[in-house]
Amino acid sequence: MTVWAQLLHFYQPPTQTHDVLRKVVNESYRPLLRVLSSFPNARVAVNMNAVLTEMLVEHGYTDVIDSLRHLANAGQVEFVGSGRFHPILPLIRPGERDRSIHENDDVNHRYFSAAWKPVGFFPPEMCYGQEIAAPIARYGHRWVILSGVACPEAWPTNFVYRTRAGRASLAVLFRDDVRSNRISFRQTDAEGFLDDVAGVGADEGKPAYVVTAMDAETYGHHLPGWEEEFLATTFELMARPKGSFAQVQPVLPSELAGTFPLGPSITPRASSWSTSEQDIADGNPYPLWKAPGNPVHNLQWDYVDHCVDLLAIARRHAHNKEARKYAAMSEERLQPALHSCQFWWASRRPMWDVTMIHRGALLLSEALLYAAKSITCGSAPPTVRKEVEWRLAAANDTRWLLDRELLRPDPE
């Protein structure tokens, strides 16, 4: 017997347009949820970043929320935690990291009610560093899903690794990158996938498991019709009691830690689901978001640091109503300004989109402006105000250099 745990990642950036969101809802989310509703044996974990939850409500697509809530209440879907605006958690400051995890939980609980009870955690882009384990556990999560490239030891199929997370520990589920990518890039079909999975662990004669994970938008949006051609067919084949694939059954990821024995404690490698072995050897664990030698990435993260530093000063000296108002406005802009897409589109591997990079910079600029305004209205002493002037000048210089990079000819 082999069990298959699948995670689907639902996400759109805070800068997404209504037209694109409508297209994704109609091409992917609605057809995908119809498939899941059509097969009582379907079991999937769902990561829904709270920024998308709010966008769906704001744009009138509450039927997506309602369908997911119904599936969760029926035991077919389990929600997992994440960061509200999809930041790269190892790359942001600890305070902003904690805030992102907490707000993701708070917003999603507001809309999914009692159906929202995550015990698993999906780091955005599966970007992991050991420093994020403790906050994941601190907010009540008991397992985390990571890319297979993060696994530093023998590949697990009949036990579950764990890792230290402050005073607690987390079970670690490693995504089968090869099998996940075969699905994501249409390099398999339902029968071929199930035949392959059925052989996992066959040599040892023990129950085994396979974990896959991919963007929910893979189904229908990136690959038109794939939700029927692959996913529906796979569930249908597994549901046949006397069929040749009955020995493969879908489960929720949380069931794995309760079914399979816990293995030794490990320290997963810093990585993402887009990181290669060569990237790790090169000391480049997050190549699409902060690559050494990428001048745009360097400028983007310098600008982030300026914004976070100025906001920290604003918070310390916001001792009157006006200063608190502008500090709150800066805080409101900073979290969405940390979303991952602006860095992804600057990676040149091969992604490059000036518009998406610029939109992220605009959010950061607003956070910077309101933090500086708060400081000018607050109780900061003259020495601090002078320091802020220099910091603001350095931030503006960084932004000018970033704009200059965006004006260069686009890569071919």
pLDDT tens per residue, range 365-407: 999 999 999 999 999 999 999 999 999 999 999 999 999 999 9
Count the alpha carbons within 13 Å of 36 in the hemisphere toward its beta carbon.
Answer: 28
Mean pLDDT over 72-94 rounds to 98
* Amino acid found at 222: H
Residue indicated by tokens 């929910």: 216
pTM for the whole structure = 0.96
Rounded CA-CA distance 20/24 in Å is 6
pLDDT tens per residue, range 343-356: 999 999 999 999 99
Burial label, 7 (beta-carbon count in 10 A; 0-12, 13-18, 19+) = buried
Residue 156: which pLDDT band, with cuts at 50, 70 and 90?
very high
* Amino acid found at 201: G
pLDDT tens per residue, range 55-78: 999 999 999 999 999 999 999 999
Name the helix (H) or strand (E) containing 177.
Answer: helix 177-184
CATH number of 2-281: 3.20.110.20
Look at residue 203 in the predicted model and tell me its pLDDT.
Answer: 66
pLDDT tens per residue, range 167-177: 999 999 999 99
Residue 237: which pLDDT band, with cuts at 50, 70 and 90?
very high
Look at residue 202 in the predicted model and tell me its pLDDT.
Answer: 66
Rounded CA-CA distance 377/383 in Å is 15
Q: Tokens at residue 1, please?
A: 């017997």
**pLDDT higher than threshold 90 for residue 229:** yes
Q: Which of 304, 302, 300, 297 is nearest to 347 (CA)?
A: 297
**pLDDT higher than threshold 70 for residue 412:** no
What phi and psi, each to the nearest 5 degrees, are found at residue 303? Answer: -65, -40
Q: Tokens at residue 345, please?
A: 């589109």
Residue indicated by tokens 């369908």: 67
CA dihedral for 172, 175, 153, 91, sign (positive or negative): negative
| 174 φψ region: left (φ > 0), alpha (ψ -120 to 50), beta (else) | beta
Percent of the chain at pLDDT > 90 equals: 95
> Domain residue spans in the chain?
2-281, 295-406
**pLDDT higher than threshold 90 for residue 245:** no
